[in-house]
Amino acid sequence: MNSIKSVVCILCLWMNLPLYAADTQSPFHIYMVVWRGETEVDVGFREYFKNNRIPVTFTLKDMDRDSSKFPEVIAEIKRVKPDLVYAVSTPVTLGLVGKEKDLKANPEKYITEIPVVFTLVTDAVSSGIVSNNASSQRNVTGTSHVAPLETQLNALLSYKPFKRLGVIYNEKEQNSVIITQELQTQAQKLGFELVAMTVPLDAAGQPIPELLPDLVEKIARANVDYLYMGPDSFVAGANADVLTRTALLYQLPTFTATEISIRKSDAMIGLVSGYYSLGQFTAYKAEQILVEKKAPQEIPIETLKRFSFIINMKVALALKVYPPLPVVQFAEVINVPNKIAQP
């Protein structure tokens, strides 16, 4: 028996199907691979097919943040031959399709003949997945959830100017390393100081979550103006609660690049992609491949056209870091205390 836990979800939506689906002999089969459980991105992805009456069978694999499982998952994908593979996160996408430069040396190691659509990939070019977002030149396309870094920093400056920015990142995640390097470049360009700290690794080479509170304390004592939470699945995903709550204890405002860290945890502000909308957008790209028969390399890799500036008012009030009125007028304000919300 396959040691990886499988969840098979079948959506056979045959009633009132549009004409293009009526010609389909059987539902499309999409093999979903997630890194650390499902999110609203995956909900949006699946519901797109339901809402558009496209018959689909989904197979879900949760990697549970264990990259050693990739050979087994890839072997299963090649055996079952789904119509499309849906890959969530930079680690999953790299594990399934590899870096572009590695394919010639060892193509059998990766998924090459089955179309792959990815999402929650910070930067497909910098990660080496593709060399050009306009056309992957591979059997791959997808979406990114992260606003351009300069745009994020400008949003942060619009809330409150800063001179020192802190970041805690997991060096085992390539996307996190890339973002930290880009932050250093922006620090030189915009004239602020970056205080960067990596999460220590255990003997097995895995980041140690128990040390995150100590790192937040060190960052706070470095007198940074904000703690930046990038698209890091370990820091800003699995351990977002610990990070943001500890930051609150040290009166440290947090800025996040991902929606989950502010809606589900206690980040103060963020410029983010809506996860559900991102899943729908990714599903649209999958539809182009499955229904319209477009090749993945014909479909550009994109972000959503608009991002949401979110203010967690409960946290802002607790830290006494109040948003400027012009920002409030265009931002989405969440967790507003009843006394303030009442007219």
Distance in angstroms (rounded) separating the CA atoms of residues 163 and 174:
26
Query: Which tokens sit at 301?
Result: 């890799």
Taking residue 16's Cβ as centre, other Cβ atoms within 10 Å add up to 7
pLDDT band at 306 (very low <50, low <70, confident <90, very high): very high
Domain spans in the chain, listed from the N-terminal domain onward: 6-144+275-298, 149-272+307-341
C-alpha angle 261-267-273 in degrees, rounded to nearest 5: 45
pLDDT band at 11 (very low <50, low <70, confident <90, very high): very low
Average pLDDT over residues 250-259: 97
Q: Report the side by side order of strands in the sheet with 84-88.
A: 6-11, 56-62, 28-34, 84-88, 116-119, 140-142
Q: Do 149-272+307-341 and 6-144+275-298 have the same topology in CATH?
A: yes
- Reported as a single tens digit per residue, the pLDDT across 68-100 is 999 999 999 999 999 999 999 999 999 999 999
Helix axes 70-80, 90-97, angle to 10 degrees: 60
The answer, yes or no, to whether residue 104 has pLDDT greater than 90, is no
Average pLDDT over residues 115-138: 96
Average pLDDT over residues 207-222: 97
Which residue type occupies 313?
M
Average pLDDT over residues 299-316: 97
- Reported as a single tens digit per residue, the pLDDT across 222-234 is 999 999 999 998 9
Return the pLDDT at 338: 78
Distance in angstroms (rounded) separating the CA atoms of residues 165 and 153:
10
When the pLDDT of each residue in the chain is averaged and rounded to a whole number, the result is 92
Which residue type occupies 311?
I
Class of domain 6-144+275-298: alpha beta
The residue ranking higher by pLDDT, 24 or 159, is: 159
- CATH classification number, 149-272+307-341, choose in 3.40.50.2300, 3.40.50.300, 1.10.3720.10, 2.60.40.10: 3.40.50.2300
The answer, yes or no, to whether residue 13 has pLDDT greater than 50, is no
Query: Which tokens sit at 136?
Result: 């992957």
pLDDT band at 339 (very low <50, low <70, confident <90, very high): low
Average pLDDT over residues 281-288: 98
Percent share of the chain, pLDDT over 70: 91
The span from the first CA to the last CA of the chain, in angstroms, equals 60
The answer, yes or no, to whether residue 49 has pLDDT greater than 60, is yes
Q: Tell me which of 47-61, 130-144, 325-339 is least confident.
A: 325-339
Return the pLDDT at 79: 98
Average pLDDT over residues 212-224: 98
Average pLDDT over residues 180-194: 97
Q: Tell me which of 102-111, 192-201, 210-219 is least confident.
A: 102-111
pLDDT band at 340 (very low <50, low <70, confident <90, very high): low
The answer, yes or no, to whether residue 4 has pLDDT greater than 70, is no
pLDDT band at 103 (very low <50, low <70, confident <90, very high): confident
Return the pLDDT at 169: 97
**Cβ 202 vs Cβ 208: under 8 Å:** yes
Taking residue 149's Cβ as centre, other Cβ atoms within 10 Å add up to 19
Return the pLDDT at 15: 34
Return the pLDDT at 118: 99
Return the pLDDT at 341: 53
Return the pLDDT at 181: 96
